[in-house]
Amino acid sequence: MRQIQREELEPLATGAWILGTGGGGSPYLSYLNMRKLYADGTRVNLMDPAELADDALVAVVSNMGAPLVGQERLSDPAFAAKPVRMMEDYLDRRFSAVMSVEIGGGNAFQPLLVAAMTGLPVVDADAMGRAYPEAQMTSFAIAELPMFPLALADIRDNEIIVTRAASWKWMERISRKVCTEIGSIAATCKAPRTGAEVKAFGILHTTTQAIALGREVRRARQAHEDPVAATLVAARGKSLFRGKVADVQRRATEGFLRGNARIDGIDDDRGAGFQVAFQNEYAIGWRDGRVVVTTPDLICVLDSVSGEAIGTESLRYGQRVSVIALPAPAILRTPKGLEHVGPRAFGHDTDYVSVFDNASAMETWP
Amino acid sequence: MRQIQREELEPLATGAWILGTGGGGSPYLSYLNMRKLYADGTRVNLMDPAELADDALVAVVSNMGAPLVGQERLSDPAFAAKPVRMMEDYLDRRFSAVMSVEIGGGNAFQPLLVAAMTGLPVVDADAMGRAYPEAQMTSFAIAELPMFPLALADIRDNEIIVTRAASWKWMERISRKVCTEIGSIAATCKAPRTGAEVKAFGILHTTTQAIALGREVRRARQAHEDPVAATLVAARGKSLFRGKVADVQRRATEGFLRGNARIDGIDDDRGAGFQVAFQNEYAIGWRDGRVVVTTPDLICVLDSVSGEAIGTESLRYGQRVSVIALPAPAILRTPKGLEHVGPRAFGHDTDYVSVFDNASAMETWP
């Protein structure tokens, strides 16, 4: 257990936004919340998963919904903590720690916000190693752990607990409809996990990795080096395309942000075209009409100059971007994992196409 | 407290279906369930609300959703009792009795099904004195009693508890979306009521009234008298129109059955036309384009020969029908009541039009 330092917050925002692969919501507003809390003297502790007792009860939290809406309806610490209190009341048990369902995007900060309100330590782990739009797209779902109960709250006085669900997909369907009805943004506390479950099936040390990645990008930027190249080295990624955004189609629908973007090549890629499709997160990429990368590879669209990630909700015409891929956690690339998060899970009728050979990809980074 | 007799079940189905004003779902399948349970020796007790202790805890149950779907996805006693068990687990308290949210339609039998499974007595009362499509359209909502918690289950293994809601309308919106997602039919246990609340704000003795009405219709039918005329006498109603169904527009949408029907006049009404619009229940009637009756008056469409009610899901071309109106419970006709269940609550831009003068309507029937 160690204290998260004030100067780690900004790198966490940068790193988590890259790992968000376009989704998870911009970390910026949650980062501002945490900076204010730190300025007021609040401190949050980061806990190595190995420190968790097997029978410890861990809250798994998220800010759920359409990223575009998250830009308008702002999160705050009290709202983030609300479903955690609901779950404690429902279970009549106290949590020992809190973790994010996804390290990618704003949800990297969600457990920090809860920790600031409750004093609970943040577990250095998540359940995706990136961001994904749906409930069944987690390492816990792939491991077939129970998916209920789930607590969900809005900014009004609406509070819902899904006490049982027939499957992870049913949990997704029901909670998504509720989320959509209350404005396409909800604070959630997912099915509680034991310490043993987190250690066995979580994606470990991803908060630390996100901070390290963000630090490297910021270091390169300050040293006038190429921050995109720095990300590729730090996260063992591969460059896919450099270009200018030519067209974006985007719609907030069924609680998701769906669409696709076309990028015209520049520099070495002049004359070529790249297309990405997304459901909150970038899911698949085509170069000149041919699939060259799919989920679970992390498909990241970065600002070519600053190296900052560009979310699916802020991608727009004229941006100079670099499309890169980072290797996904091993469990997502197993056959069972691909059932949950492969391209077919997003409605794309293709097998998993990776830019990483299996041997190198099976290593985790950094 | 008295035992409901086997020979009361069929009259209850007939009477409740008339009081359903087209909605509440056909009682037929629930009646068959109860007949089977009675054949197997089960008996259910009916309790006068006056017998309820002030602090007794009463389960308020319903089969919620689109009536058309209720014809395909059948209810059963175990399913009806599921949300009641959920609520007991959630509250960590046992119920003393069970009542229906609405006496109209199949929901007249819902507490009997629960009683058959649990041994609880059925309270001789409901919260509408008829049927209505939405959560805020009850005497309990009009009295501004709390609307949560609400337990909701489907036939799979999905169970949801709305632990808090910002208003009755928010409770309606959230529970409706969940209901729609799980197939537009759900068994629910609404916000528990105390005995004192039921006695003060329930619509009392409506099970007894429904049985009496159904008995009278069946007696007239067997005596070769006019069962429609018998209903008008028994329930102090007024005849509005006799005709033949000429056209029905109907769609199952957003968890409701919405539409309207056109009836061409016969006998004394030859040459005239009548139109009714419905959202699960008949809400408003026009004669030759002029509004002549609106909710909360009970607008009932009956088979002209048998006197049996015709639901909005089974109304069809060619049926010989009698449109009648029955007076609504007094609380629904108060200014506060009309906010909840007047024509504007159903999107019809007109004031309440009643076929009853206020003095006679303020009496309850029979």
Q: CA nearest B182 in A: which residue?
A: A174
Helix (H, G, I), strand (E, B) or coil at B110: helix
For CA atoms B44, B50, B55, B61, the dihedral sign is: positive
What is residue A358's predicted lDDT score, i.e. its pLDDT?
Answer: 61
End-to-end CA distance of chain B: 21
Which amino acid is present at B259?
G
One pLDDT digit (tens) per residue for chain A, 366 residues: 999 999 999 999 999 999 999 998 899 999 999 999 999 999 999 999 999 999 999 999 999 987 667 777 777 899 999 999 999 999 999 999 999 999 999 999 999 999 999 999 999 999 999 999 999 999 999 999 999 999 999 999 999 999 999 999 999 999 999 999 998 889 999 999 999 999 999 999 999 999 999 999 999 999 999 999 999 999 999 999 999 999 999 988 777 889 999 999 999 999 999 999 999 899 999 999 999 999 999 999 999 999 999 999 999 999 999 999 999 999 999 999 999 999 999 999 999 999 997 644 444 443
Q: CA nearest B183 in A: which residue?
A: A174
**A158 CA to chain B: closest CA distance, Å?**
4
One pLDDT digit (tens) per residue for chain B, 366 residues: 999 999 999 999 999 999 999 998 899 999 999 999 999 999 999 999 999 999 999 999 999 987 667 777 777 899 999 999 999 999 999 999 999 999 999 999 999 999 999 999 999 999 999 999 999 999 999 999 999 999 999 999 999 999 999 999 999 999 999 999 998 889 999 999 999 999 999 999 999 999 999 999 999 999 999 999 999 999 999 999 999 999 999 988 777 889 999 999 999 999 999 999 999 999 999 999 999 999 999 999 999 999 999 999 899 999 999 999 999 999 999 999 999 999 999 999 999 999 997 644 444 443
Cite the DSSP H helix spans in B134-226: 139-142, 168-181, 195-201, 206-222
Task: Tell me which residue has tokens 């949300």.
Answer: B83
Q: Read out DSSP for B51-105?
A: GS-TT-EEEEEEEEE-HHHHTTS---HHHHHHHHHHHHHHHT---SEEEES-SSG
What is residue B25's predicted lDDT score, i.e. its pLDDT?
Answer: 86
Cα dist from A214 to A7, A11, A132, whole Å: 11, 4, 20
Residues of B whose CB is below 8 A from A164: 157-159
Which residue among B86, B160, B163 places its CB closest to the CB of A174? B160
Cα dist from B267 to B195, B270, B271, B326, whole Å: 49, 5, 9, 22
Kindly determine whether residue B162 and residue A158, on different chains, have CB atoms separated by under 8 Å.
yes
**A177 CA to chain B: closest CA distance, Å?**
6
Do A46 and A208 contact (CB within 8 A), yes or no? yes
**A51 CA to chain B: closest CA distance, Å?**
33
Would you state the structure tokens that stand for residue B202, as one six-digit string?
């329930």
Please name which of B303, B306, B305, B299 lies closest in space to residue B316, comparing C-alpha atoms. B303
Which of A86, A160, A168 should one mutate to test binding to chain B, selecting the residue with the greatest count of B CBs within 10 A? A160
Kindly determine whether residue A157 and residue B166, on different chains, have CB atoms separated by under 8 Å.
yes
Overall residue count recorded for chain B in this entry: 366
Q: CA nearest A162 in B: which residue?
A: B160
Q: CA nearest A165 in B: which residue?
A: B158
Own/partner long-range contacts of B271-275 (Cβ < 8 Å, ≥24 apart):
B272/B241, B272/B243, B273/B243, B273/B246, B274/B240, B274/B241, B274/B243, B274/B323
Task: Tell me which residue has tokens 């985790």.
Answer: A364
Which residue among B86, B161, B174 places its CB closest to the CB of A158? B174
For CA atoms B129, B132, B138, B139, the dihedral sign is: negative
Which of A164, A167, A188, A254 should one mutate to test binding to chain B, selecting the residue with the greatest count of B CBs within 10 A? A164
Q: Read out DSSP for B292-345?
A: EEETTSEEEEEETTT--B--TTT--TT-EEEEEEEPPPGGGGSHHHHHHHSGGG
Q: How far is the C-alpha of A365 from the C-alpha of A273, rounded, in Å? A: 29
Task: Give B4's DSSP letter.
Answer: P
**B180 CA to chain A: closest CA distance, Å?**
9
- Torsion on CA atoms A268, A274, A280, A283, rounded to nearest 10: -100
Q: CA nearest B158 in A: which residue?
A: A165
Which of B178, B188, B254 should one mutate to test binding to chain A, selecting the residue with the greatest count of A CBs within 10 A? B178
What is residue B358's predicted lDDT score, i.e. its pLDDT?
Answer: 61
Which residues of chain B have a Cβ shorter than 8 Å from any chain A Cβ?
86, 90, 156-166, 170, 173-174, 177-178, 180-182
Q: How far is the C-alpha of A121 from the C-alpha of A46, rounded, in Å? A: 6
B195 φ, ψ (degrees, to nearest 5): -55, -40
Kindly determine whether residue B163 and residue A165, on different chains, have CB atoms separated by under 8 Å.
no
Q: How far is the C-alpha of B137 from the C-alpha of B332, rounded, in Å? A: 9
- Kind of pairing, strands A193-194 and A57-65? antiparallel
Which residue among A160, A166, A173 places its CB closest to the CB of B162? A160
Which of B82, B159, B168 should one mutate to test binding to chain A, selecting the residue with the greatest count of A CBs within 10 A? B159
CA A249-A255-A260 angle, to 5 degrees, is 20
B3 has which bridge partners? Answer: B45
Q: CA nearest B90 in A: which residue?
A: A90
Residues of B whose CB is below 8 A from A90: 90, 163
Own/partner long-range contacts of B89-92 (Cβ < 8 Å, ≥24 apart):
B90/A90, B90/A163, B90/B149, B90/B151, B90/B161, B90/B163, B91/B57, B91/B149, B91/B192
B325 φ, ψ (degrees, to nearest 5): -125, 140
Residues 6 or more apart in contact with residue A366 via CB below 8 angstroms: A209, A212, A213, A234, A235, A236
A151 has which bridge partners? Answer: A161, A189
Kindly determine whether residue B178 and residue A182, on different chains, have CB atoms separated by under 8 Å.
no
CA B310-B314-B315 angle, to 5 degrees, is 70
Would you state the structure tokens that stand for residue B3, as one six-digit string?
């035992």
What is residue B257's predicted lDDT score, i.e. its pLDDT?
Answer: 84
Do A80 and A117 contact (CB within 8 A), yes or no? yes
Residues of A whose CB is below 8 A from B170: 156-158
Residues 6 or more apart in contact with residue A186 via CB below 8 angstroms: A63, A64, A65, A152, A153, A154, A175, A178, A179
Tell me: cis bond preceding A296? Omega within 30 of 0 counts. Answer: yes
Which residue among B86, B90, B181 places its CB closest to the CB of A174? B181
pTM to 2 decimals?
0.90
Which amino acid is present at B45?
N
Kindly determine whether residue B160 and residue A159, on different chains, have CB atoms separated by under 8 Å.
no
Cite the DSSP H helix spans in chain A: 9-19, 28-39, 67-70, 77-91, 110-118, 139-142, 168-181, 195-201, 206-222, 227-234, 335-341, 358-362
Residues of A whose CB is below 8 A from B161: 160-161, 163
Residues of B whose CB is below 8 A from A161: 160-161, 163
Say whether the ipTM exceeds 0.90.
no
Q: Which helix (H) or strand (E) holds B362?
A: helix B358-362
B223 φ, ψ (degrees, to nearest 5): -90, 10
Which of B91, B168, B177, B188 should one mutate to test binding to chain A, selecting the residue with the greatest count of A CBs within 10 A? B177
Kindly determine whether residue B173 and residue A159, on different chains, have CB atoms separated by under 8 Å.
no
CB pairs under 8 A between A and B: 65
Would you state the structure tokens that stand for residue B278, as one six-digit string?
């419905």
Overall residue count recorded for chain A in this entry: 366
Do A164 and B157 contact (CB within 8 A), yes or no? yes
Which residues of chain A have a Cβ shorter than 8 Å from any chain B Cβ?
86, 90, 156-166, 170, 173-174, 177-178, 180-182
